[in-house]
Structure 1
Amino acid sequence: MRLGTKSCVECRRRKVRCIFSPGQAICQACALHDSVCDSQQLVSKERSSNQTINGYNQTNQRLDELSDQIRHICNAIGLDLQQSTSNAIYSEAIREEREQEEPEYQTEDVPLLRLFKDSNFLLSETHNGDAYSPRSGPSHQAKAYIQALVDLTPSKDDLALILRLTEPYWAVCPVAPSTSHANSPPSTVPRVQQFIHDSMKSGKPAMVAKAALWLACCIQHLPKGFDAVLPSRSSDRTPTMPPSNCSRNEVLDGLLGGAEVLVSIDADSGGTLEGVESGFLQCQNYVSLGRPRKAWSVIRRAINSALLIGLPRKCLTEYPGSMWPPLWQTERQIAMLLGLPYAVASSHPSISEKSLGLDAEQQAMHDIAVIVGAVIDRNQNYDRVAYSDTQQMHDNLRRTVSVPLDLLLSEPPSPSSSLAYLYHRASLEMYHLQTLKYIHLPYSFKSAQHTESEAQTIDVCRRILHCYQNFRTRNDQTLLLVCDLLDFQAFSAAMVLVIHQFRYRNSHMGGPPEYDWNLIHQVTKTLTRITATRDCAVSSQSVDVLTYFSDLYYMRGSLSESREIVVPYFGKIRVTIAGSAANVAGFDSGRNIAPIFGDESQMQVDISSFGTFSDTVDFQSGAELASDWMDSIDWQGDFDWNWNSTLPFD
């Protein structure tokens, strides 16, 4: 053993204390790792020098061999090795100079380099907890984004004010604000404030993301005019910091962008329960902001992490297993809207096997989601399915869901009902009605032979608008709840009624037009109230489009210009108006005289009824539902429209 130390060779290499129990010849660390416990031997200077020289010789010999191999490869492909080496040296010098000016963590974004470093971690334990190990701590990139999110956190007093102003809306959040996995106590402002503070200081990517996403949910519901409490930009450059004088949308983009990177890092390292919760919170945020495609993307990642950590194998009626059903059910609902496939097959044991202990609402959500899977399967293969499959889905929905759900929702909510109760009740009813709508919508426009599907679609769209009105107009909290996707679903249902009324304008088959238009006008007023309370592109554009078609139907205002409108995830409409402005504006609503249009006046409607959309359209970009619906979009774009019709106005 070397003079002055009692450590064995293995403990010295690990840089840990070497402890021998009384009467034991092997230290505790070697016994724990099942390693050979050898004492350190004194190496003579002469022997050490010889070993060093031999090592240098072997290294030089190996380098010569590698140089010869590289030279042969370069000659075979006609590459000038000397010129390439000079260029590489120059590029490396430029890169080092730029890194000194503004350091970035580029190595974390190079998969091959990360693979090499991870392999070194597995082959040797001399890393001593370096940052390249996926389990040894946050990477440099994670640390940068964690610091950015910490900088985006409001001050203590401002955070307390934000939480107090948005406390009524916490109940609709799908994840409790807690750092533990146990049943969390009722949330209060001090507890949530402590949760955000502790999570931000934890240094764990998933925990920091969870706190940032919870804060984003609160900021979304901050009343109009309170942006002054939001943080301003610091002097340090960080990856997600918005510009100076942060607006609400800029702070939200910073929180969501930074959290997404951290959740990705957590998923890449195998996933954690906090990462799954963060993914669900991400989805909730994007749904509220009218970005369903982004919501579908992040919840798919959360489902992958949930499968990896075995969440579906746990008890589905107790936490954390109770997180699993909302994940796959929500993902299917969004996939049906977007016309995309779903993630988990209905044959998966967690879906196909009957779960005990579910209440009536949970069972209804489960049964609806199973039928949604069948709807998506049909839409993905619509050119190879028969109409009898649609009739079968309708019968299954009516038998397993509609009748029990009507009994469940037959009793109206009391005036004192909480926001959480009203929200979950409306969500369940809307999920059911949206499923029924998408069962029949394709065939209601596809052929005149399917009058039953057309009647079902019109009826369910009216019910959707009634459900929307009953929820939104209940009280101030239900009106101010941020959910752009809910507003868009109501708008889409209203557009079906609009097309229906124009389609049968001069026919009794359209039914009394006053009933549908009164319902559309009520929804328009509600959307107008929402627009007045906050900046919302979905509600404001919905109001513009519905008002335009109402004026067009009843001949109000100036309608001498043709319009083109692309309704996201629905279809496109071109209105061509011919004739003089005097004729166009000459409708007398009191006398109920038919409007006078030129012979070429018409409304051309193209609908992707089976929900398959081109990825070249503006509403498939980052803005999604917030994009401009009346912008100049190429009418001849790469669409997959399944129904089109030209509707004359006379």
Structure 2
Amino acid sequence: MSQIPVRSAGGGGDPEAKRRKIRKGTHSCWECRRRKTRCQFASATASICVGCEARGTACRSQEFPDEQPPSAERGLSQRMSRVEGMLERIIERITPGPYISSRSGGQASASSASAEDDLEYSSPDILRPSAASHPHVIGMFDALREEGGSCPSARASFVPTPASTQSDTVPGLPAKFSQISKTLHATFPCQRDIDAIIEAAGFGPYFIVTYFSGVDGPLEDPSTVSDVPPSTSHPALLAKRLMQLTSCMQKISVDDIPRDLVSKEPIRFLMNRIVNVVSDLMAFNDDLVGSVEGLETLNLIALYHANAGNLRKSWLALRRALAVAQLMGVDRWPDDKPLKSVDPRSDPGTRTRAGPLWYRTNFTDRYLSLLLGLSAASDDDSFADPLRLAQSTPIERLEKLHTVITGAIIKRNMNTSRASPEAAFGTTQAIDCDLEMAAKTMSAEWWQPLLPIDASMATPRELVRIQSRVMMQMNHHHLLILLHLPYMMRDPKERRWDYSKTTCLHASRELLQVYLVFRDLTDAASACRHTDYGALTAAMTLLLGYLDPKLRARNAAIASRRDADREVVTKVRDVMKKIAERDGDKLAREASDIITRLLPLADVDLTISGHGENDAPVRLEIPYLGTININPVRRQPQHKFRQDGSGIMPSLASHDNSGEGDDFERLEVYPTTNVYQTPDTTENMSIDLQQFPQTQPSFLSQLGEDANFSFMQFEPDISSPYQFPELAADVDQWTFQGFDATFFENLLS
């Protein structure tokens, strides 16, 4: 626009007015100059700038003399200008992104501002986020728009190299986020190491991109996992890529770690460092999580901690993910509209949908809550309504039903102390029917045990399908065990408990067989860690089931079943022990140790003869809770126990308690100290359990007083209330995170 006519509020001009000499390139009007705002035009032919049109003021080019209003009007105009300036400064502080007038329609027309007027901020009258801006404080509530809001000129080229610096990346990223993006970008390993890690992870990248939507849902290209966004990308996108890479690292066993990595940092330390950086800079920054990438990052952080054995940290991350998702309205958002993305190159067709993201987050939260004995975050089961189930694939349908059933078991457990025994048992039977109906949604062939396969001959898609099938079978059997566990140790003379006992034992056998198939597919310690918790639950349940006198008979059928059970449990124990020795995994080591301690229960000859070490087949120490002594052997009271290599075995307290069963007698109580502490003295500590009624007011204080538990007694750890671990202690400080205590509470409730 070479010539700008004299303009008025009504759009008229005065072609005869005397022109002034102005600096070349200056095209702004007097009013915009006085207000120190950018002078913009809606189109190249517009005669009045956007600001003057919105304000209703005269639009006069600086080519013509400024006609000041009368004194009174000028004073009012100046005061209004000061007020508008103050409003602009307030808006600058509370909204870090740039803003433009809504009348501009988001069009980036040629600016007519002069060089000295070229400021960062726009008219304060009618404001809306710039099309180039990224989510900030209010972005969490805008995150469900179909498109990211970026104009075509703001598209960033995507070069898979950490060192890439590009001028056409997304503009408008606030300065305080730019430094976060640079720090996250610097956290990536070099591209050579990334490529080596991805290759060693096998089908890991394919599993990661199917984590939210499943194999049959919209998927990113697995190759994008190795792509490093530019340093000017939004922090949520960089954080998501880092967590995807970390999840791939967790699927690599020690033997398969590439030996020629440029970085000499151990891969476990590298994973911890990445997760700590992402958590500190992005995950807990409310300004950065309001997008699909932000939610995916929170879920991937939870997945990392769950696989690392940090169940409580995982649970906390999931609670934050659910809170953010609810604020964004993910639970109400239709699946046919994609969530907002901060990735300019994101394809709406392959973007994670709201429905799968919502139920995946709820599924994981409920699973962890069930293991830890906590309540679920949300009771919303809308993802499993009949219409959505009808639109789901068979395996998605089963997973959604499992999510609903997991919530029902949690409610049953939470209400046990308030509901009558008959009501609780009725609820259990109803949930069992729901599990049976869920199982019937899959074919009988689908439930058949899988034979070991040659992973080198299968495609990544086939391997993910097989792994998903195996994990869903394990999850189904695990839910059956946890549902009926409270009724497994009831009085064997009452027939109404027989179904629960039979179900627990059958589901345990099936789960252990499937676990061996899963570990044949992947033997990395941190790959899908929940399978290890399921296997430990099944092994403990199966072995403790042999405390039932009917299962200790010497007839051929029962003896054959007992030998088969002992064989499969031993195989599972050996797999865990191998992982522990190879990867140095503490959780696998202690899980295999617990199974080893319980194995004598399946050896009738050993327990009946009483020829075990110290005549005590099982002594389980539950950190921060106490010790459970299990002994189905009928024997005369002893006088002394000597120290063994693992702890103090003090002298026997004299008791004269006899069980109701003909072949069982109570095992006396041995007080213990915390498993992580060494006592200051080795003096005898004969203490009667009746001295501690206040220590464990729940089920544990009554353990051993009921005839149903004539073979089991509990020694409370009176120091535990004062030496409880940190709220979110990691696996190195608290191996089972309270999972073991929850198991025995459910077993003996």
Aligned partner of 1:470 in structure 2 is: 517
- Say whether residues 1:298 and 2:336 are aligned partners: no
Rounded to whole Å, the distance in 2 between the matches of 1:227 and 1:440 is: 45
SS at match of 1:565: strand
- Say whether residues 1:400 and 2:438 are aligned partners: yes
Aligned partner of 1:327 in structure 2 is: 361
Question: Where is the helix percentage greater, Structure 1 or Structure 2?
Answer: 1
Q: 1:206 aligns with which of 221, 229, 236?
A: 236
Rounded to whole Å, the distance in 2 between the matches of 1:257 and 1:266 is: 13
- Whether the aligned pair in 1 keeps the contact of 2:240 and 2:297 (CA below 8 Å) is yes
SS at match of 1:173: helix
Aligned partner of 2:38 in structure 1 is: 16
Aligned partner of 2:485 in structure 1 is: 441
Aligned partner of 1:118 in structure 2 is: 94
Q: Tell me: CA distance 1:395–1:10, structure 2 relative to 1, closer, same or farther (3 Å).
A: farther
Deviation of 1:212 after TM superposition, in Å, equals 0.7
Deviation of 1:556 after TM superposition, in Å, equals 5.8
SS at match of 1:492: helix
Task: Write out aligned runs for 1:185-224 (5 A).
Answer: 186-188=221-223, 191-193=224-226, 195=227, 197-198=228-229, 201-224=231-254
Task: Write out aligned runs for 1:87-126 (5 A).
Answer: 117-118=93-94
Q: 2:272 aligns with which of 243, 253, 271?
A: 253
Q: Which runs of 5+ in 2 are unaligned?
A: 1-5, 7-19, 83-89, 102-118, 122-129, 140-170, 338-348, 632-637, 646-662, 671-710
User: What per-residue deviation string (whole Å, max 9, x for no partner) do you get for residues 591-625 of structure 1?
Assistant: xxx99999767853589xxxxx99974485331x4
Aligned partner of 1:26 in structure 2 is: 48
Q: 1:285 aligns with which of 296, 300, 304?
A: 304
AA partner of residue 7 (structure 1): S
Aligned partner of 2:690 in structure 1 is: none
- Whether the aligned pair in 1 keeps the contact of 2:243 and 2:275 (CA below 8 Å) is yes
Structure number with bigger Rg: 2
Aligned partner of 1:534 in structure 2 is: 583
Deviation of 1:271 after TM superposition, in Å, equals 1.1
Q: 1:621 aligns with which of 713, 728, 735?
A: 728
AA partner of residue 599 (structure 2): S
Instruction: Give me the identity figure in percent.
Output: 19
Aligned partner of 1:358 in structure 2 is: 392
Aligned partner of 2:346 in structure 1 is: none
Q: Which runs of 5+ in 1 are unaligned?
A: 59-113, 233-244, 586-593, 608-612, 646-650
Deviation of 1:644 after TM superposition, in Å, equals 5.1
Aligned partner of 1:487 in structure 2 is: 532
Q: Tell me: CA distance 1:175–1:3, structure 2 relative to 1, closer, same or farther (3 Å).
A: farther
User: What per-residue deviation string (whole Å, max 9, x for no partner) do you get for residues 76-97 of structure 1?
Assistant: xxxxxxxxxxxxxxxxxxxxxx
Rounded to whole Å, the distance in 2 between the matches of 1:222 and 1:359 is: 30
Rounded to whole Å, the distance in 2 between the matches of 1:537 and 1:485 is: 15
SS at match of 1:404: coil
Rounded to whole Å, the distance in 1 between the matches of 2:312 and 2:254 is: 27
Aligned partner of 1:315 in structure 2 is: 335
Q: Tell me: CA distance 1:259–1:614, structure 2 relative to 1, closer, same or farther (3 Å).
A: farther
Q: Tell me: CA distance 1:560–1:159, structure 2 relative to 1, closer, same or farther (3 Å).
A: same
AA partner of residue 409 (structure 1): W
- Whether the aligned pair in 1 keeps the contact of 2:225 and 2:241 (CA below 8 Å) is no
Rounded to whole Å, the distance in 1 between the matches of 2:269 and 2:262 is: 11
- Whether the aligned pair in 1 keeps the contact of 2:302 and 2:314 (CA below 8 Å) is yes
- Whether the aligned pair in 1 keeps the contact of 2:363 and 2:403 (CA below 8 Å) is yes
SS at match of 1:574: strand
- Whether the aligned pair in 2 keeps the contact of 1:169 and 1:221 (CA below 8 Å) is yes
TM-score normalised by length of structure 2: 0.60
Alignment: residue pair count = 544
AA partner of residue 48 (structure 2): I
Q: Tell me: CA distance 1:284–1:558, structure 2 relative to 1, closer, same or farther (3 Å).
A: same
Deviation of 1:361 after TM superposition, in Å, equals 1.2
TM-score normalised by length of structure 1: 0.68
AA partner of residue 311 (structure 2): P
Aligned partner of 2:543 in structure 1 is: 498
Aligned partner of 1:271 in structure 2 is: 290
Q: Tell me: CA distance 1:629–1:28, structure 2 relative to 1, closer, same or farther (3 Å).
A: closer
Larger CA deviation: 496-505 vs 1-10:
1-10
SS at match of 1:18: coil
- Whether the aligned pair in 1 keeps the contact of 2:181 and 2:238 (CA below 8 Å) is yes
User: What per-residue deviation string (whole Å, max 9, x for no partner) do you get for residues 450-506 of structure 1?
Assistant: 34323322222222212212221x35x356672332112211221223333356599
AA partner of residue 566 (structure 1): I
Q: 2:467 aligns with which of 407, 416, 423?
A: 423
User: What per-residue deviation string (whole Å, max 9, x for no partner) do you get for residues 531-568 of structure 1?
Assistant: 23323111111122222333687556688999652279
Q: Tell me: CA distance 1:206–1:561, structure 2 relative to 1, closer, same or farther (3 Å).
A: same
Rounded to whole Å, the distance in 2 between the matches of 1:323 and 1:140 is: 31
Aligned partner of 1:156 in structure 2 is: 191
User: What per-residue deviation string (whole Å, max 9, x for no partner) do you get for residues 352-384 of structure 1?
Assistant: 644443221111112222222221221222223
AA partner of residue 532 (structure 2): D
Task: Write out aligned runs for 1:507-518 (5 A).
Answer: 507-508=552-553, 512=559, 513-518=562-567
Q: Over the residues paired in the alignment, what is the CA RMSD in angstroms?
A: 5.2
SS at match of 1:334: helix
Q: Tell me: CA distance 1:30–1:246, structure 2 relative to 1, closer, same or farther (3 Å).
A: farther
AA partner of residue 436 (structure 2): R
- Whether the aligned pair in 2 keeps the contact of 1:227 and 1:248 (CA below 8 Å) is no
Rounded to whole Å, the distance in 1 between the matches of 2:259 and 2:626 is: 40
Q: Tell me: CA distance 1:549–1:638, structure 2 relative to 1, closer, same or farther (3 Å).
A: closer
- Whether the aligned pair in 2 keeps the contact of 1:484 and 1:539 (CA below 8 Å) is no
Rounded to whole Å, the distance in 2 between the matches of 1:426 and 1:39 is: 72
Larger CA deviation: 143-152 vs 571-580:
571-580
Aligned partner of 2:599 in structure 1 is: 550
- Whether the aligned pair in 1 keeps the contact of 2:512 and 2:568 (CA below 8 Å) is yes
Rounded to whole Å, the distance in 2 between the matches of 1:415 and 1:351 is: 36
Deviation of 1:638 after TM superposition, in Å, equals 13
Deviation of 1:158 after TM superposition, in Å, equals 2.0
- Whether the aligned pair in 2 keeps the contact of 1:9 and 1:37 (CA below 8 Å) is no
AA partner of residue 574 (structure 1): I
Rounded to whole Å, the distance in 2 between the matches of 1:509 and 1:398 is: 33
- Whether the aligned pair in 2 keeps the contact of 1:559 and 1:581 (CA below 8 Å) is no
User: What per-residue deviation string (whole Å, max 9, x for no partner) do you get for residues 180-230 of structure 1?
Assistant: xx9556534xx543x2x22x5243121011111011112223442648766
Rounded to whole Å, the distance in 1 between the matches of 2:736 and 2:399 is: 36
SS at match of 2:628: strand
- Whether the aligned pair in 2 keeps the contact of 1:316 and 1:355 (CA below 8 Å) is no
SS at match of 2:48: coil
- Say whether residues 1:367 and 2:411 are aligned partners: no
Rounded to whole Å, the distance in 2 between the matches of 1:638 and 1:315 is: 37
Rounded to whole Å, the distance in 2 between the matches of 1:640 and 1:506 is: 21
Aligned partner of 2:507 in structure 1 is: 460
